[in-house]
Amino acid sequence: MESKRYSAIGETLYSETLPNGLRLRVVPKPGFCSRYAVFAANYGGAHRRFFLDGKPVETPAGVAHYLEHKMFDLPGGDNALDVLSANGADPNAFTASGITCYYFQCTEHFEENLRLLLHFVSTPYFTEETVQKEQGIIAQEIQMGEDSPGSAVYHRLLRQLYAAHPIRDKVVGTLDSIKEITAETLYACHKVFYAPGNMCLCVEGDVDPEEIARIAREALGEGGESLPRADFGPEESPLPVEKLHREQMDVSAPQFLIGAKLSPPANGEAALRLRLVSALALRLLVGSSSDFYNRLYASGLLNRDFDAEADFSAGTGTLLIGGESPDPEAVLRELTEELRRVDKTGLDPQRFERAKRASLGARLRGLEDFESVCIALAESLFEGCCALDATELLQSVTKAECEDFLRRELREEKLALSIIEPRRS
């Protein structure tokens, strides 16, 4: 097992790829009570089309999320969530566009809980009857999302931006698509995407890395299955499909999201660097200490319900800037004016250095959150890089890189606006 010492942040990372292909990452924290484990698959809601052994396969929207729900079933009718909870763990799972994660945190019985996590995620157990029963539960989840303004404005924006990429479809699927999902569909997708070579295990806490590797080898066997190759469709135009869209819902004030498709991220260190540059550039442009935010806050165009991020998932990069405003179109006009100013005069050097120090401080504080560290390690592994390299890499990010990102990726013609406004009487 290889180890790498990160002296600047006081962490050591142990890494190994097991004979079955599973990638293992362990961050020992001697003396800490809490221990955290994430077992993740390089499989999410956008992995609807793929090639296996050279043959194309297409699945209904919502399969990855549906499978996540059913993986907790155990023989005899038990549920793995209940068993882990009874054993002192705090377990859960989530499915995003590009990843599915199963995880738990505990202070005792860690090895026993880890064995159970590896067992139930790698060993599907469900019947056609239990799969059909789950359909009603997921249908309720879909309907709840349709009533959420935040969910509506986000998913509408994705459809404005993307013409064909499956990220435009909801991870949970639709009421019609989940009716197509059978037990056979789920078993087939589990065999393909939950192969050890398509997964990783990330652990942090007072643990022995060699013991973690031994448990994983015992639990997961040899592996060796053929791995899928994702098919996300044809190359997308950099321009949105639809610039402006309005919908009415039961909201007290308009909610909005401004978005843009970012250049497809590369793998490896370039992917991690793009994440860092985009986050720092957005902090400088529209962050809580920026002239843009404070000017619009003082004028009443924005309130504290405002955020910005660059989301990288399933081979895409998506800019998201939004919140609540009495006039979202005015916010978009102000944003384009701010971008023109940056294009002409650049970013302020002193503010750049302050923002960079603030970003470094936030990353150092984030190392105290075992959950965030383990999930970030898993996500970066599937991108061919390591999240723990971010602190050192961030120090080398330049003002010119941030300016170039804003000029290249936030051109006016690339921006789309999604608005949810109050129903008219």
Q: What is the pLDDT of residue 51?
A: 87
Q: How many residues belong to the chain?
A: 425
Please tell me whether the overall predicted TM-score, pTM, comes out greater than 0.85 for this model.
Answer: yes
Q: Look at residues 46, 59, 1, 54 and name the one whose alpha carbon lies nearest to residue 27.
A: 1
For 290-333, give the DSSP string: SHHHHHHHHHTS--S-EEEEEEEETTEEEEEEEEE-S-HHHHHH
Q: What is the pLDDT of residue 221?
A: 84
Q: What is the pLDDT of residue 394?
A: 96
Question: Which pLDDT tens digit goes with each residue over 371-393?
Answer: 999 999 999 999 999 999 999 99
Q: What is the pLDDT of residue 145?
A: 82
Q: What is the pLDDT of residue 305?
A: 94
Q: Look at residues 343, 336, 148 and name the one whose alpha carbon lies nearest to residue 243.
A: 336
pLDDT category at 18 given cuts 50, 70, 90 is: very high
Residue 425 has pLDDT above 90, yes or no: no
Question: Which pLDDT tens digit goes with each residue over 50-102?
Answer: 888 888 889 999 999 999 999 999 988 889 999 999 999 999 999 999 999 99
pLDDT category at 194 given cuts 50, 70, 90 is: very high
Q: Which two tokens stand for residue 84?
A: 């882990």
Please compute the mean of the pLDDT values over residues 136-155 and round it to a whole number.
91
For 260-281, give the DSSP string: EEEPPPPSTHHHHHHHHHHHHH
Q: Residue for token digits 């979202």?
A: 328
CA distances from 328 to 175, 257, 284 (A): 31, 8, 21
Q: What is the pLDDT of residue 66?
A: 96
Q: What is the mean pLDDT of the chain?
A: 95
Task: For residue 143, give the 3-state DSSP assignment.
Answer: helix
| CA Rg value for the chain | 22
Please compute the mean of the pLDDT values over residues 306-322 and round it to a whole number.
96
**What distance lies between CA 372 and its chain's CA centroid?**
11
Q: Which two tokens stand for residue 1?
A: 């097992």
Q: Across the strands, what pairs with 246?
A: 419
Whether 78 and 86 have beta carbons less than 8 Å apart is answered as: no
Q: What is the pLDDT of residue 76?
A: 81
CA distance 417 to 270: 29
Q: Residue for token digits 């600047």?
A: 8
Q: What is the pLDDT of residue 151?
A: 93
Q: What is the pLDDT of residue 166?
A: 96
Residue 266 has pLDDT above 80, yes or no: no
- From the DSSP assignment, how many helices (H) and strands (E) are in the chain? 14, 15
